[in-house]
């Protein structure tokens, strides 16, 4: 974190912000301010350069054509890749998650290069679309509570040897591979298919990103009653028979 406070970068809200994913930026910003942190939030549109001096970068989901445009511009710009090389924390959702991988299938049915920040490859599934509430257990190494979210994707994401599954599903489809994995991460780069927005449902993830940015093991407590009520409601919904 710089001397000027925490820099939170919301990447391409004009292209990648479906299913309320911008709420992730709002939650991270709010939970930082609740701890008395000075936060500078930067919303970077797709016609603007991505700054390399951010601490936390958030990327949301999007439809197929905006996803292709976002991938093209992020490759050409190079700012997000340079920020990752500098050790920045990056958290991505759905289309943003696929963009961080090696490649995905674009709206033209072609293989589209990603940024290669996660060792994953995404294809397009042939079966039923993955839609509905999800409940999953986050990798125990991260020490976080169960993951709750909403998935809506046709993508199938395969993990390579250097990517760890972010979570393993109890209910839902996750990466769509049939192996129970959901999302992926490697060091400070994270990807998930979970909308919700995922930070509102899982504030412990927002806190985890803040701890990584601050290089601390714990944060002062906050009033989480609203979040816990939402979590309880959505976890119950995920476990109800269809």
Catalytic residue numbers, as ranges: 94, 195
Its pTM surpasses 0.85: yes
What letter would DSSP give residue 109?
Answer: S
Taking the C-alpha atoms of residue 182 and residue 163, their distance in angstroms, rounded to an integer, is: 12
Hunting for tokens 């609203």 — which residue is that?
A: 226
Q: Is the pLDDT of residue 45 over 70?
A: yes
Question: Which residues sit in the known binding site?
Answer: 129
The pLDDT value recorded for residue 19 is: 86
CATH of the domain at 63: 3.40.50.880
Mean pLDDT confidence for 35-63 = 97
> Which domain does 18 fall in, by range?
3-237
Question: Which residues sit in the known binding site for substrate?
Answer: 129
DSSP result, 115-139: --SSSEEEEE-SSS-EEEEEEEEE-
pLDDT-derived band at 58 (thresholds 50, 70, 90) equals very high
Mean pLDDT confidence for 80-104 = 98
Residues 6+ apart with CB under 8 A from 79: 49, 50, 51, 52
Could you give the number of structural domains in the chain?
1
What letter would DSSP give residue 141?
Answer: G
Taking the C-alpha atoms of residue 48 and residue 51, their distance in angstroms, rounded to an integer, is: 9
The pLDDT value recorded for residue 4 is: 61
Taking the C-alpha atoms of residue 93 and residue 236, their distance in angstroms, rounded to an integer, is: 23
Q: Is the pLDDT of residue 47 over 60?
A: yes
Mean pLDDT confidence for 71-75 = 98
Q: Residue 98 domain-assigned?
A: yes
The pLDDT value recorded for residue 18 is: 87
Q: Residue 242 domain-assigned?
A: no
Q: Residue 71 domain-assigned?
A: yes
């Amino acid at each position: 974190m710089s001397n000027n406070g925490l820099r939170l970068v919301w990447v391409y809200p004009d292209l990648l912000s479906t299913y309320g994913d911008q709420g992730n930026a709002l939650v991270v910003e709010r939970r930082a301010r609740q701890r008395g942190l000075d936060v500078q939030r930067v919303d970077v549109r797709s016609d603007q350069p991505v700054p390399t001096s951010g601490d936390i970068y958030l990327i949301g989901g999007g439809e197929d054509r905006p996803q292709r445009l976002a991938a093209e511009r992020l490759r050409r710009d190079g700012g997000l890749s340079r920020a990752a090389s500098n050790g920045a924390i990056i958290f991505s959702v759905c289309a943003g998650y696929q963009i961080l991988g090696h490649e995905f299938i674009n709206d033209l049915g072609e293989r589209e290069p990603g940024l290669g920040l996660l060792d994953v490859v995404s294809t397009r599934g042939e079966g039923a679309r993955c839609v509905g509430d999800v409940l999953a257990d986050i990798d125990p190494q991260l020490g976080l509570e169960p993951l709750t979210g909403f998935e809506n994707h046709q993508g199938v994401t395969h993990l390579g040897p250097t990517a760890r599954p972010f979570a393993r599903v109890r209910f839902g489809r996750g990466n769509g591979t049939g192996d129970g994995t959901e999302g992926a991460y490697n060091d400070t780069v994270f990807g998930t298919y979970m909308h919700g927005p995922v930070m509102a449902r899982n504030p412990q993830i927002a806190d985890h990103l803040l701890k990584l940015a601050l290089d601390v093991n714990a944060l002062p407590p906050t009033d989480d009653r609203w979040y816990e009520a939402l979590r309880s409601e959505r976890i119950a919904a995920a476990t109800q028979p269809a």
